[in-house]
Structure 1
Amino acid sequence: MINQQQLWDDDAAKRYDTPGEGMFSAEVLGPTVEVLSKLAGDGPAVEFAIGTGRVAIPLSEAGVPVSGIELSHAMIARLRQKVGEARIPVVHGDMTEARAGDNFSLAFLVFNTISNLLTQEEQIRCFQNAARHLAPVGCFVVELWVPQLRSLPPGHGGTVEVSEPGYLLVDTYDVLHQHVISHHVRFGPELSGGRDARIARTPHRYIWPSELDLMARLAGFVLESRWADWDRNEFSAESRTHVSVYRLASH
């Protein structure tokens, strides 16, 4: 089993933030915060795997009280360089069981992080933990990639997902166990004069949208909305990602 504490270490935390670019760009964060703010309404929100505060900080700035759960000490330390505990309290622990309180209007888990849980049982427990945090009819939002197995050629175990100057992303699959390892290869003049490359690997358990819906039902949720992205474009068979909104079923 991969040690997630070692995976998200000091070096990973330092390299995680890319202010104004990529997933930290206004084009990404603006729609994300807009959707989450609307779903939270007048209530507080809790982010599972809060990381360095990429989403939590701008959501807090938008007026939503935010708490978090995070397994990595290094990621929490990076967050604390930006905001204090009084503004965004964070509980150190596993998002399948750690408790940050209750009666939240919104729980959310973004940027594929539920796939960092490497067994189906852990992923179900994550949904159950989200339910424990929520007020009646509160909602749980999950942002996740759609498995791209159609791009996997017969007899091959991997695909090149990104190829750009200085960076390659290669995914290798174990389809029997629904596991994929993302190999991040970075190279260029800034790495030892361009003579070497740096490789990082992140493991995931991929989840089909229908399987995710069943996990939600087991935890007492019903699917309320599903979009292809935070701009709320229609989800289709060609979508590579989805944002799914689950609501606690009323009794």
Structure 2
Amino acid sequence: MLRQGRSQPGKVQPVTSSDLWPRETAERYDAEERENSSAAVLEPTLTFLAELAGGGRALEFAIGTGRVGVPLRERGVPVVGIELSEHMAAVLRRKVDEDALPVVIGDMATTVVPGEFALVYLVYNTIANLLTQDEQVECFRNAARHLAPGGRFVVELGVPPLRFLPPGQIAVPFDVSERHLGFDTFDLVNQTLVSHHLTRDGDDGRYRRGSCRQRYAWPAELDLMARIAGLELERRVADWKGAPFGPASGKHVSVWRKPV
């Protein structure tokens, strides 16, 4: 059973700008993310999140097929999810039932679920799926309204790689391998990008093409969104293992706290 979410009265209307993942994409997602779903890769993420939850409840925005939420629950953290794509949530539901890990269908900027949480988190660049600044601000506000006093909001997001753009060019490759070619094209005026993927489909030489739109944001911009939502930056690191964040970091994991 997939429950439909409700929007916060008096707030923005349900977000519609995010690309909605269809059934075909949802069905092959776990296979394509097998490496990122391995125990070795996920261990630092799960440890980081479990420590912040501190035995309390956790809410995952854009929980998808449960790549993080399912193993985090297996660590003893009660997890609830919000997911825009019914197809992604249907794949998760094959792994764990509704009573064990409730999932509400709705967007992460306005959908409200019952109760308070010690932790709200967003992994894997997912906040960039909200394609306007207003929507990203509402995502922070939605996290804040779900947090108990002293609770944390965690976001994992890449640092925009604009320093790799030569003058006059708009594309930056992020993966060039035998089975996959990935590159981002940037619209510097509207602060958006499109991730393009050419993925080898089988062993007959065919490639499948896909793309997704995102809105990139700098760490300082996210800090301002957090302030608007009444949250305070607690720490920022370069990865889930806690490496120091610096000028050469390709991504960040940021933690904002709701004041007591």
TM-score strictly above 0.5: yes
* Structure 2 alignment gaps of length 5 or more: 1-15
* Greater relative contact order structure (CA < 8 Å, 6+ sep): 2
Residues 1:28 and 2:41 are matched in the alignment: yes
Residues 1:128 and 2:116 are matched in the alignment: no
Counterparts of 1:148 and 1:31 in 2: how far apart (Å)? 24
> Which of 230, 241, 249 is the equivalent residue of 2:251?
241
Change (3 A) 1:3 1:206: closer
- Is 2:125–2:156's contact at 8 Å kept on the other side of the alignment? yes
Alignment map for 1:45-56 (pairs within 5 Å): 45-56=58-69
Residues 1:67 and 2:103 are matched in the alignment: no
What secondary structure sits across from 1:214 in the alignment?
A: helix
Output the aligned Cα RMSD. 1.5
Counterparts of 1:224 and 1:123 in 2: how far apart (Å)? 19
Post-superposition Cα deviations, 1:85-108, rounded to whole Å, max 9, x if no partner, equal 000001100111111223100000
Alignment map for 1:32-47 (pairs within 5 Å): 32-47=45-60
Identity rate, percent = 51
- Is 1:18–1:24's contact at 8 Å kept on the other side of the alignment? no
Post-superposition Cα deviations, 1:86-133, rounded to whole Å, max 9, x if no partner, equal 000011001111112231000001000000000000000000000111
Counterparts of 1:96 and 1:81 in 2: how far apart (Å)? 26
What secondary structure sits across from 2:89 in the alignment?
A: helix
Change (3 A) 1:105 1:3: closer
- Is 2:83–2:89's contact at 8 Å kept on the other side of the alignment? yes
Residues 1:197 and 2:213 are matched in the alignment: no
Counterparts of 1:108 and 1:222 in 2: how far apart (Å)? 15
After TM superposition, what 4+ stretches of structure 1 lie above 2 angstroms from structure 2?
Answer: 1-5, 18-22
- Is 1:148–1:240's contact at 8 Å kept on the other side of the alignment? yes
What secondary structure sits across from 1:4 in the alignment?
A: coil
Amino acid aligned to 2:180: Y
* Structure 1 alignment gaps of length 5 or more: none
Match of 1:208 in 2: 218
> Which of 94, 98, 121 is the equivalent residue of 1:81?
94
